[in-house]
Chains A and B, each alone.
Chain A
Amino acid sequence: MKDKNYTPRMLWLTVAVVVGTIGLGFIPPFELQGMSFARVDMLSSLRAETGGDDLPVEYEADIERLEMELAAMEMEPTVEVVDTLPEPVPVRYEWIVQEEPMVKRRVPLSTEVAPADDMRVVPIEDFDTLTVTRYERFIEKLANMEDVRIAFMGDSFVEGDILTSDLRHELQSLLGGRGVGFVACDIPFATVRKSVKRTSSGWTAYSVMKPKGTPEALRDKYFISGYIAEGGSGATTRWASTDTFATLDSCSRGRVLLYSRDTSRVLVEINDTLSREFEIAGDDHVREIYVEAPIDALRVKVLEGSVVCYGASLEGGRGITVDNFSVRCNNGHAIFGTGATVNRQIDEMLGYDLVVLQYGLNIMQPGQRVFARYRDQLRDMIAYAERCFPDAAIVVLGVSDRWVKNEESGAYEPIGSVDALTSYQRAAADSTHVAFWNTSEAMAIYGGMPRFVANGWAAKDYTHINFAGGRRVAEALARALRSSLAEELSEREAEAQRVAEEAERRALEHQMLIDRNLSATTILLDTLAEDDASMVKGDE
């Protein structure tokens, strides 16, 4: 027995370990000392990927390519002057039916913009290091009542204008502005959006999430909207405003964003009555057809040639425009698949002042605590957005609250990685010096996801909020913006007050001086008069 050879034990131990580790799959997930232990699955690679919703995105950050693209774009205008200088292609086709009325807006008081309720404000954390940060500049623009445009980029969380429609409504009611903003021309799957009625036909639509399904020539032509539609003669889309919110109907401005590689003819029709034809000169540059008129519905129709259309924007009345750019299953990576040149060109037309990045819902795994790689990718996304929208402030939204079902008890419990992902997102914002807003903390004020589900504000998957839930989150975000704005305004009011008081004090001093001089003069005169009198008396 002493000389027993243990070689076969290698096999038996391996067999036992394999059986044992597969057996570990019977241990349900549990919590101990605040640490959550997940179910282990030795055989996971033999299973189909779950959550077929999560399409793999083939994009990687390529900041170098972006820099080159932008550099090339900036060099473009310096075309050498040759004998036959090609006619520059117009970037903007205008059609002014009725000039937009000049709305005179009164700068609100800080007390008017300050959050109306007394709920706790989850502030926007500004990590910028500039003396006047980009976020402060954005708030200043709001305080100056300038026209302000917000790009809200997100995933299925804000699909269908959830959250953004309420944010838009609140800001427009407060600071002016009308219209739903940007709406895509056509999307390769059915969507529901209450804030706008879009009907389209004749287009072939492509998604930035499926680069392989996109024709080669269009792959670098995506805008951050994420969807492109290509159509020949007959292709048409009609965007009509709705009255779901008071500020949405009857806009005064409409713009259609498109381009056409070769000359084409496009018909634009307002309110199904008035129409006009445009000849679009052939070029790769994105063009806009700009219409000023009281608009309830805008239609575009390709008459001749082939057109690539991004979408249309309904807006006006001077004030705030909020564009919803939601791309389902996008963790933010899809921005790398959008064309930097296209983004810049459209930014030059529309002028974005704030870019919101709302992502991360799909990358969480129960119990996951480390998101270092995602943080690095997020930094690249921020860098990409900064370069595409150089004048905009950027706010990264922390991931929203999410609960998952415990397979054993059937009850829902926190996914356990929301705080971790939030801190990694904050770290990305911190190191890239942009602003950050903690979405899950804001949701916690309303009681977190279980409360949202109980109140009917979120779907039963404990992941996606609905319009009612979006309203709460929008309220909270608007509260943060409003308190920044109120702060700016109250500083201004204090400054104005100080200036006024200073002026008053000066005036008072002046008056006192005059008074004093006056009295001195009076005394002098009196004395003189007395002297005169005595002299007169003396004379007597």
Chain B
Amino acid sequence: MKSSVITFPGSNCDRDMDVALNKFGFVNKMVWHDDNELPKSDLVVLPGGFSYGDYLRCGSMASKSRIMQSVINFAKSGGLVMGICNGFQILVETGLVPGVLLRNKYLEFICKNVHVKVNDKENPYFKNLDKNIFEFHIAHNEGNYFCTKDQLKEINDNNQVAIYYCNEKGQLDDQHNPNGSLKNIAGIFNKEKNVLGMMPHPERMIDQSLSGEDGSIFFDNLINNLK
């Protein structure tokens, strides 16, 4: 399986994603933001970081960079595009997934483990997972998901929520909503579910010495789904 990770100026989880993808069997290529064409890929990842310093609005400038046109075309033709953290913010800015990401509720950067509940398994990312609740890691300043009422209705009608923040038993409550996200939304799909944006970093949880190993389960399952 071939994957591509896009490096924008200011990306800083690109290497971590490369390590994770390679570890679970992808043949990964790093792609420079200023390139015109994506290499042939089964999966394109927009990694975390602070693309263009997040100076205008997180992800806004990156969403206009040269490679993004071919990423958007790839997504529109059904290709798998996953945006993690800043990558999610970029996806939101391209309009590939609905909504926006505001500053965290307490206006503080948050780096910690959280639990998330998988909402939908009828998609190439979560299909065949044999559990619903995962311990993932977040590290962001702008992860407070928000959208309009109409958008929310559409999201729910199409079952587009990918994951929710929850407690370890899978219950959704305010106490386990780390950043104030609307309805505890931690990740979201486009309608066709080939594009996934989420705040948690599965690539930081890929061996037992790190924050946990639920990231390994995610990547292992993902590559098997794509085979």
Question: Do A and B truly interact?
Answer: no
Could you tell me which B residues sit within 8 Å of A by CB distance? none
